[in-house]
Chains A and B, each alone.
Chain A
Amino acid sequence: MINNNKKYSDEELIFQFQKGNEHAYLELVNRYKDRLLNFIFGYVHSKESAEDIVQDTFLKLYTSADMYREIAKFSTWIFTIAANLAKTELRKRKRRKIFSITDMGFDDKDYEIPSESNVPENSINSKYQMKYILKAIYKLDEPFKTALILRDIQELSYEEVSNIVDISIGTVKSRINRGRLKLQKILKNENK
């Protein structure tokens, strides 16, 4: 039984779970479910789909916990699983033609916007409204989008992004810079 969860690191919890402690698993779920939801939302732009993918990520964690090795940080490992599942979902959607670039249209009905009830005032009054920013992120090419979400929304370190995306730190920095410039360009065009 995990009595005081705060004193355990993610890595200690996964090792406990590998030994059969299901409370450790639940603690990891509670620690990461919201972070992963926001991360996946950047890909699929639907809370329901994002939540399904997060559930699949945790199911994978449950069934493949033995695959985790200490060489990687747990956060890197779980984000990598989630990113792969999100990409698979996007590929499936593309194949099934649930939506396509031409169908997308960027209407609000296609694009679920989080409730603004708890949005800080300064972000609503910001030059760029949240929904335009989210739409602009959605329009980015996948490599730039992933790097940007991980760094600027999830606020992970360059090193963590590098491990998740499996590219060098130099390439991560370059992608983030180019992604930001592209985002800026898209927003500028949208605001015209």
Chain B
Amino acid sequence: MNCYRFETLISDYLGNNISHSMKSEMEKHLGECPNCRAKLEDMKQILHSLHKLPKLQTSANFNEKLMEKIEHHKSKKKFIFKQFVYKYSQPLSTAAAVIILLFGVYYIYNSIFPNMPNQKISTSEIQNNILNPTQLSQPANNSINNLQKKPQYVKAENDDSSETNIDQRNNFENKIKMVNKEK
């Protein structure tokens, strides 16, 4: 064993964390090397001093100061919340006023014009009714009459047919005219 190897293992030797064979090898080296022997003794003294270092103690009012810090932290948090509310109170109240106003307008509009729902007729329903006029139900008839007056095509919710385009609309109008002529 050389001195460098001894140095790398010195802590393990002192902590007794090495194998028996390694320990014997190191002790053999210690017997031959006065430098390493001195180094080992020196290290023992240093470790002893480190373990015996006087321990500091916190000041007597440590806990009180800590509690003050905690209280300060809590009040700071409350202050931050208050500051937030103060800072954003104007925009928040404006936004709330706008939302209330919009709801109010919507409510008033609905109460003034209660019978203005969009008439939703599926294109498939119209097609069926046009092709079988004898089976026309009253609402469907009304729908056709309405269409004659003022064509209005609104895509129904359950309508799985493709979007109604202008050509389709013209076709329907022609078919409606033909049905009327047959009548």
Chain A's interface: helix, strand, loop or mixed, by majority? helix
Q: Knowing A55-B62, A62-B70, A153-B50 touch, does A41 contact B56 (C-beta < 8 A)?
A: yes
Kindly report which residue of chain A lies nearest to residue B9, judged by CB atoms.
A177
Q: State which size class the interface on A falls in.
A: 35 or more
A155 CA / B51 CA spacing, docked (Å): 8
Q: Knowing A51-B62, A62-B70, A123-B52 touch, does A180 contact B57 (C-beta < 8 A)?
A: no
Residues of A with Cβ closer than 8 Å to B? Answer: 26, 29-30, 33-34, 37-38, 41, 47, 50-51, 54-55, 58-59, 62-63, 114-116, 118-120, 122-123, 126-128, 130, 133-134, 148, 152-153, 155, 173, 176-177, 180-181, 183-184, 187-188
A59 touching B49 by the CB < 8 A rule? no
Q: Which residues of A contact B8 (CB under 8 A)?
A: 177
* B1-41 Cβ-contact flags toward A at 8 Å (1 or 0): 00000011111100001000000000000000000000100
A166 to chain B, nearest CB (A): 21
A153 touching B53 by the CB < 8 A rule? yes
Q: State which size class the interface on B falls in.
A: 20 to 34
Kindly report which residue of chain A lies nearest to residue B59, judged by CB atoms.
A51
Identify which of A133, A177, A188 contacts B10 (C-beta below 8 A).
A177
Kindly report which residue of chain A lies nearest to residue B72, judged by CB atoms.
A59
A59 touching B70 by the CB < 8 A rule? yes
Kindly report which residue of chain A lies nearest to residue B10, judged by CB atoms.
A177
Identify which of A33, A37, A59, A118 contacts B54 (C-beta below 8 A).
A118
Q: Knowing A33-B58, A51-B59, A55-B69 touch, does A180 contact B11 (C-beta < 8 A)?
A: yes
B73 to chain A, nearest CB (A): 6
Residues of B with Cβ closer than 8 Å to A? Answer: 7-12, 17, 39, 42-43, 45-59, 62-63, 65-66, 69-70, 73
A-B contacts, 13 of them at CB < 8 A, read A30-B63, A34-B58, A59-B69, A59-B73, A119-B52, A126-B49, A130-B49, A133-B53, A148-B50, A153-B50, A173-B17, A177-B8, A181-B10
A30 CA / B113 CA spacing, docked (Å): 74
Q: Which residues of A contact B49 (CB under 8 A)?
A: 123, 126-128, 130, 133
A128 touching B73 by the CB < 8 A rule? no
Q: Which of B7, B42, B48, B55 has the most chain A CB atoms inside 10 A of its CB? A: B55
Q: Knowing A51-B59, A180-B46 touch, does A63 contact B73 (C-beta < 8 A)?
A: yes
Identify which of B12, B17, B43, B52 contacts A184 (C-beta below 8 A).
B43
A187 CA / B10 CA spacing, docked (Å): 17
